[in-house]
Amino acid sequence: MRPPIKPMAAKRSQYGIAPELVKKRAAEMPGVTSLLVSDLFRDTPRVIFPSEEGIAAVRAAAESALDRVDMSMIKPHHSVNVLTSHHGFTLLGGEPFAEMLRAIRDAVVRRTGCKNVRLRAGVGLRFRETEEYIKRFNLDEYYEGKASGIAPIDEGIPIETDIGTLYGIKKAYDADWIIHAHNSDVREVHFHRQVDKVVKPFGMSYARIETRSTYHHNMGPRAANFVARAIFDSPFVQEKFAFTSFLVVSPSGVVGVDADNDLYALNERLTAAGCQFYGKIMTLLGRIDDCIAVLDFPCPVPYVFAAGVIYANFAGANVDLFDLGNALPAYTWYTEAFYGKRGPLVEEVPPLNPAIRMCVHNYAWGGYPSAFFAEHIPTVVVGREQADLMNRDPQNLTYMKYSTIAEDTDGAMRFARSVTGTDKVIIFDGAVGGINVTEPLAELLLSKAPEVERLVDGQLLPKWLGQRGIDPAVLKTVVTR
């Protein structure tokens, strides 16, 4: 068994408790070990970050990818908005994504002579979050004072689409050209189902709240994909779109950077890569029979990471979220309208993952509606300060009504073990390259991995790609080291 992997450091944010209040990380508990993704699966792709080359490898990959795109439409007197989203800054500490954003600006200035390059970073429900990231990574200085956060409550602009008038954020589109900068991780596979993921920010991060809410309230995970596609395909956006650049990631880390003038060509490559890179680890986590889940990462409750998978997806790991032939996984934990006080309203709707016997909220942020998780999964919050944070959060006013408080991490874990009777613990702490777990869970995962590898390679991956009309040969074109 390996020693635990260092968890992602606590970060100062208005959405979380102060880092100095995080007294103990779950990985410091006795009996915790780690598994590398490469320990579990033989075809784990080689990563460029983390690596001995460090962030320089990301810069080199970005420059190589950007050299392949056409920038001739951008003239020295033009203006350019680099559009991006908050989620990229939570991957591997955020520095790889920030470095890609720096490389994009440098490439545009060098190749086109255009110096009016601005960064516009969108958010979800934490309206000031990207402002924190811009300052943390000095992107305001790198973009010469032209970097700013944009929020769904900012002034909108009407966009005429094939399905009617939708609304983007005016500040996202106030340039001659836009560059779409994003990442390939599949944290919201419950949402986009690995269908048109690459256009999702056009209906979310770059859209007014009335339009982005179609994802959450009107159309659901299946139909809502059409909203983002309709916005991107509109004449208004197409006349401004220059190219796209994506940080390509796997559960182990960054594997490359991909850029293209054709967003849908890139979409096909990254959809295939997402199914291949994440399908095995998500299927394996679905084989866990019982466990305690520990949240220990600087993100809101559903977005904390373990082996590249977020807690929200683990809460739905009792179904195959990649399988488009199953209509029900889209309506698991996320669509709360399908749940009553005692669980799903109809028997066809699957419950939250019953393997999660208890959740220990050791360190996670507010700023995202999370009471639903605490209502359906017994939850222990560590420390009065964290409980007070959730009680002050207007999006989590009932979170503590469904949770109890432990004085410290050790007390929370003693309580969880005593009540659940299990010693299997999975820690969502952003451990890079692998996953921190207790030894009994490590043994279970190692024993199940060969079977999962055969199942995904032989049956599930071909099925997932076929459902999306993707030739498996596309996998050979995925940008990796």
Q: What pLDDT score was predicted for residue 330?
A: 43
d(CA 17, CA 71): 43
Question: In which band, very low, low, confident or very high, does the pLDDT at 247 lie, cut at 50, 70 and 90?
Answer: very high
Mean pLDDT of 27-37: 96
Q: What pLDDT score was predicted for residue 222?
A: 63
- 205-241 confidence digits (pLDDT tens): 999 998 888 776 666 656 678 889 999 999 999 999 9
Q: Where are the beta strands (DSSP E) in 112-212?
A: 116-122, 147-150, 156-161, 164-169, 177-183
Q: What pLDDT score was predicted for residue 333?
A: 46
Token representation of residue 327: 């209509």
Q: What pLDDT score was predicted for residue 324?
A: 86
Q: What pLDDT score was predicted for residue 226?
A: 86
- 414-468 confidence digits (pLDDT tens): 999 999 999 999 999 999 999 999 999 999 999 999 999 999 999 999 999 999 9
Q: What pLDDT score was predicted for residue 351?
A: 80
d(CA 193, CA 330): 8
Question: In which band, very low, low, confident or very high, does the pLDDT at 128 lie, cut at 50, 70 and 90?
Answer: confident
Q: What pLDDT score was predicted for residue 126?
A: 84
Token representation of residue 116: 């009016």
Share of the chain above pLDDT 70, in %: 94
| Secondary structure letter of residue 302 according to DSSP | G
d(CA 299, CA 430): 10
Token representation of residue 260: 């293209």
CB 194 within 8 A of CB 267: no
Q: What pLDDT score was predicted for residue 335?
A: 56
Q: What pLDDT score was predicted for residue 100?
A: 98
Across 103-112, 123-132, 180-189, the highest mean pLDDT is recorded for 103-112
Map out the domains of the chain with their CATH numbers: 19-44+279-450 (no CATH), 55-250 (3.40.50.11440)
Residues 301, 305, 310, 314, CA torsion sign: negative
pLDDT over 80 (residue 260): yes
DSSP secondary structure letters along 218-282: ISHHHHTHHHHHHHHHSHHHHTTEEEEEEEEEETTEEEEEEEES-HHHHHHHHHHHHHHHHHHHH
CB 386 within 8 A of CB 393: no
pTM of the model: 0.93
- 73-112 confidence digits (pLDDT tens): 999 999 999 999 998 999 999 999 999 999 999 999 999 9
